[in-house]
Structure 1
Amino acid sequence: MQEDFLHYVWQHQYFDKASLCTEQGEPIVVLKPGFRNADAGPDFLGARLMIGEVEWNGAVEIHLRASDWYRHQHQTDRKYDQVILHVVHVADQPVRRTNGSEVPALTLQPRLVPSLLYAYEALMAADNPQLLPCAGALSTVPEVTRLMMVERVLLERVEQKAAAVQEVHERSGHDWETTAWQVLAAGFGFKKNSEPLTRLAQALTLAVLRRHRHEARPTEALLFGQAGLLPAAAEAPDAYCAELRREYDFLAHKYNLTSSAMAAHEWNFLRLRPANFPTVRLAQLAALVHAQPRLFQPLLDAPDVPTLERMLLAPVGKYWQRHYRPGVAAAAPVPALGRSSAHLLIINAVVPLRVAHALSLGNREGVEAAVELLTQLPRERNSVLAPYEALRFQHRSAADSQGLLALQRGYCQPRRCLQCAIGSRILQRNVPPSAS
C-alpha cells in the first residue's frame, strides 16, 4: 500500500465511521476533511473536526505508520504544530509537536473497506506494460468520464509545455520575438537535435539574421557556420560551400560570433535517416527565416492549420534540394519538410507559444483557441497510443493524441490511478453507501 491511498480514503471519507475515535479514546466527528496541500507542510489543510467536546480547526497529517512522523522529522518542524489529527494505517507509537503536546491519532487499518482495498491493489498490481492498469475494469467507466479525463490532461500537457515557453520568455528579457525564434528552432531539432538547435538559437539571434533577410545565402551562412557545420574555405568540397564559409567568416567577425560558435561533433547524425539530418533541418529553418523574418506575430495570428503549414513549409534553396550535408550530393532530390513534420512543429512549438502568450495576458479564450488548432490536425499513430485505441478511447485528432499521451505518461505509467478520474470512478464502485 502507498500513502497516497490513505490520502484518497481520507479525502473522500471512504472508511467505516461507526464509533469513530482517536487512539486516546476520544470520539471524532469529521465536519470537514480539509483540502490537499500541494506545498511543504501537512497533507491536508483547513480541516474541521469535533474531538471529544471541542471543535478543532487545523491540519491533518497522514502516514502509513505513526513512527513516520519522527522519520520525517516533523517533531522539529513548526509547520506541523497545526496538525489536529494524525491519520495512520498503523499506530505504532504516539507522536508529539515541537512543544511536546501529543497529537491525537486515528487508525484506519480496521476501518478500510475490503472491496475498495482489493480494487486499489488490483490497479497497482497490473504489470503488463502494453495494458492500462484499469483495462480489466474500464467497461464500468462511463464514456463521459473518459472524455473529461482526457480533456483535463490535454490541458495539463499543453500548459506544461507553455510553462517551458514562459521560462524562455523570461530568459529572453520578455521579448516574444526572441522567444518564438528559440522555441521554433528547438522544434526544428525534433527529438535528436532539439538541444543543440536551442543553443544555436541562443547564440545566433533573430535580430542578426533579420539584417540579411533579403538574401538566402547570408542566412544559410550564419546558421551553418555558427553551427560548426561548414568546412574551412580552403577545404570546401565545392564552390557554394566555399562561398558560405567566406560569408560566415566575414559576418562572424562583424557580429563577434566566433567565441560562441558550435562544433560539428555537437550534432547528432547517428541513427537518423538523411532526410532528418540536422543539416537538412538547418536548411529548412534558414528557408523559413528568409521567407518570414518576423516569426511571432504571424505564428500568433494564423487562423488555422493550412495557414501555418504554408508558413512552415518554406522551400529550401536549390543547393539543399540536392545535398543532405555540405559537399555531399544526394542521388535523388532531398525530401522537403513534410506536412507531418509541420504538424509536429505546430503541436510542440506553435501551440505552446500561443498558450504561453495567452496565459501571460490572462486570456483563457486565447488558450482555448490555441488548443483548438490541435483538433484540426490528424491523430498521431504510435505504440503508446495503440492500447488506448484497442480499449475504444476516442481518438479522432491530435488533440485526442496529446491527451492520451498525457494520460499515459502522467497517470497510467506512474500508476497515479488515485488522481485519475477513471481510476477514481472504478474505486468508487467498490465503496458501499455506509462508507461514503
Structure 2
Amino acid sequence: MQEDFIHFLWKFKKFDVLNVKTIDGKPLQIFDVGQHNHNSGPDFFNAKIKIGEQLWAGNVEIHLKSSDWYAHHHETDKAYDNVILHVVWAHDADIFRKNKSVVPTLELKNFVPSQLLKNYHQLFSAKKRWIPCENNFAEVDDFILDNWKERLYIERLERKSQQIDVLLNQTRQHWEEVLFRMLFRNFGLKVNADAFESVAKSIDFSIVRKLQSNPLELEALFLGQAGLLDATIEDAYFIQLKNTYKYLSQKFSLQNTAAAQVQFFRLRPSNFPTIRLVQLAQLYSEHYNLFSNVIATNRLTNFYELFQVGVSEYWKTHYTFQTSSTTSEKRLTKSFIDLLLINTIIPLKYCYNHQKGVLETEEIFELANAIKPEDNSIIKKFNSLKPVVKNAMDSQAFLQLKNNYCDSKKCLHCAIGCALITN
C-alpha cells in the first residue's frame, strides 16, 4: 500500500466519516480536511475537526503507520507542533509532540469499505499490463473521460508553455525568433529535430529579417549552416548556393556551429533535410511577419493556406544535389501542417494568450478538435481498449495520460483511476 492512498482516502473522505473515532475511542467530526500540501511540512494545512467536544483547527499529518512519525523525526521539528490529527492506516505507537502532549490519531483501516480496498489492490497489483487499468478502461464513464482529457490537454499545453518560456528568456522575449526556433525543430521531425534546432540557434534572427526578400540567400543560409554545402559537388545550383553562403558568411561573420549533423538515413525523400530546409526558406520569404499571421489566424483551413509552401524551381526536380527526380511542387502536406499546429502553433498561441492575460481556451480547443489525431502506437492501443481518440486534442491528452500518469502508476491522481477505485 502507498501512503498516497491514505492521502486519497482523507482528501476525498472515502471512509466511514459518520462513525470514525480516534484510537482512544473519541468520536471524530471532520468539517474541513484542509489544503493538500505537496511541499515540506504537514500533509494538510488548516483542517477543521472536532474530537469529542473539542473543536480543533490546524494541520493533519498522514502516514502508513504511527511509528513513521519518529522514523521521519517529526518529534524534533517545530513545523509539526500544530498537528491536530495523525491519520494512519495502522496504529503501532503513541505519538507525542515536542512538548510531550499526545497527538490524536485516526486509524483508518477499520473504516474503509472493503470493496474500495479490493478495487485499490486490483489496480495496483497489476503486473505486465500496458496501463494499470487496462482490463477496466472500457468501463469508465464517458463523462469522466471527457472532463479528464480536457484537463490533461491543458496540462500538456502548460508543460509546453514552460519550454516556450525558456526560449523567450533565451531570446529576450522575441516571439518571432521563438517561433523560428520551434518551427526549425519540428521541421526536422524526430530524426533531425536536434540538428535543425542547433541550426536555428546558430542564426541571429536579424539576419533572416535582412534576407527574407531573397529566397536563394535564405536557402544558402539554412543549408550552409546545416553543413549541407560543405561538400564538393559538380552541380551549377550547388555551386551558386555555396558561393552565396560564402559571401553571407563573410558579411555576417557566420559560424557553422551546429551541434548535430543532419541525417538522411531511413527518411522518406519528402522528409530529407534538404527539402525541409528549403521549405522553411520559402515559408520565411513568403511571410515577413509570420508570428503575427499565426496569432491572427484561428481556423484550420486558414492555417493550411498559410503553411502551404513548396520549394524553389531547382528542388521541384531534386531531393538532393546528386540525384534528380520527377517534377513535383513538394508542398507541405496537410498531415505535416497538422503536426506543426499540434507541436508548435497551438502551444505558442496558448502561451502568448496567457502572457497577454487571455485565459479563454475555447478557441484553442476548437482548433485542436478540428485536427486529425496523431497516429502512433500509444493512440492505437488506447483506441483498442475503447474508441476514445477522435481528434488532436484527444491524442495529446492521452499521450499526457500515458507518459505522466500510467507509466508511473499515478492512478490516485488520475480521474480514471479514482473512478475505478471508488466504483
TM over 0.5: yes
Q: Counterpart amino acid of 1:50?
A: K
Residue in 2 aligned with 1:299? 294
Of 246, 249, 254, 1:252 maps to 249
| Change in CA separation of 1:189 and 1:61 when aligned onto 2, cut-off 3 Å | farther
Q: Which has the higher contact order (CA 8 A, sep 6+)?
A: 1
In the alignment, structure 1 residue 262 sits paired with structure 2 residue 266: no
Q: Which runs of 5+ in 2 are unaligned?
A: none
Residue in 2 aligned with 1:40? 40
Of 395, 409, 412, 1:415 maps to 409
Q: Counterpart amino acid of 2:393?
A: A
Deviates more, 1:281-290 or 1:24-33: 24-33
- Alignment deviations for residues 301-355 of structure 1 (CA, whole Å, 9 cap, x no partner): 1131122122222111123333334x32244457543211110000110000100
Residue in 2 aligned with 1:310? 305
TM alignment of 1:21-420, pairs within 5 A: 21-23=21-23, 26-97=26-97, 102-130=102-130, 133=133, 135-136=135-136, 138-139=138-139, 141-231=140-230, 235-258=232-255, 261-262=257-258, 265-325=260-320, 327-332=321-326, 335-365=330-360, 367-420=361-414
C-alpha displacement at 1:102, in angstroms?
4.8
Instruction: Report the TM-score when normalising by structure 2.
Output: 0.90
SS at match of 1:88: strand
Asked if the contact 1:230/1:241 (under 8 Å) is kept, the reply is yes
C-alpha displacement at 1:169, in angstroms?
1.8
Q: Counterpart amino acid of 1:49?
A: I
Asked if the contact 1:146/1:393 (under 8 Å) is kept, the reply is no
SS at match of 1:427: helix
Q: CA separation in 1, counterparts of 2:390 and 2:17?
A: 45
C-alpha displacement at 1:387, in angstroms?
3.4
Give the alignment's Cα RMSD to 1 decimal: 2.6
SS at match of 1:303: coil
Asked if the contact 1:351/1:371 (under 8 Å) is kept, the reply is no
Asked if the contact 1:134/1:423 (under 8 Å) is kept, the reply is no
C-alpha displacement at 1:373, in angstroms?
0.9
Q: CA separation in 2, counterparts of 1:40 and 1:349?
A: 36
C-alpha displacement at 1:218, in angstroms?
0.8
Q: CA separation in 2, counterparts of 1:252 and 1:420?
A: 53
Deviates more, 1:353-362 or 1:53-62: 53-62
Asked if the contact 2:132/2:409 (under 8 Å) is kept, the reply is no
C-alpha displacement at 1:360, in angstroms?
0.7
- Alignment deviations for residues 153-207 of structure 1 (CA, whole Å, 9 cap, x no partner): 1222222222322322232212221222122222212222222322222221332
C-alpha displacement at 1:99, in angstroms?
5.9
Q: CA separation in 2, counterparts of 1:90 and 1:370?
A: 48
Q: CA separation in 2, counterparts of 1:251 and 1:37?
A: 56
Q: CA separation in 1, counterparts of 2:245 and 2:175?
A: 27
Asked if the contact 2:226/2:258 (under 8 Å) is kept, the reply is yes
Aligned length: 422
Q: CA separation in 1, counterparts of 2:262 and 2:228?
A: 9
| Change in CA separation of 1:92 and 1:248 when aligned onto 2, cut-off 3 Å | farther
- Alignment deviations for residues 195-240 of structure 1 (CA, whole Å, 9 cap, x no partner): 23222222213321120111111101111112222215xx244222
| Change in CA separation of 1:236 and 1:12 when aligned onto 2, cut-off 3 Å | same
SS at match of 1:153: helix
Q: CA separation in 1, counterparts of 2:264 and 2:73?
A: 50
Asked if the contact 1:123/1:134 (under 8 Å) is kept, the reply is no
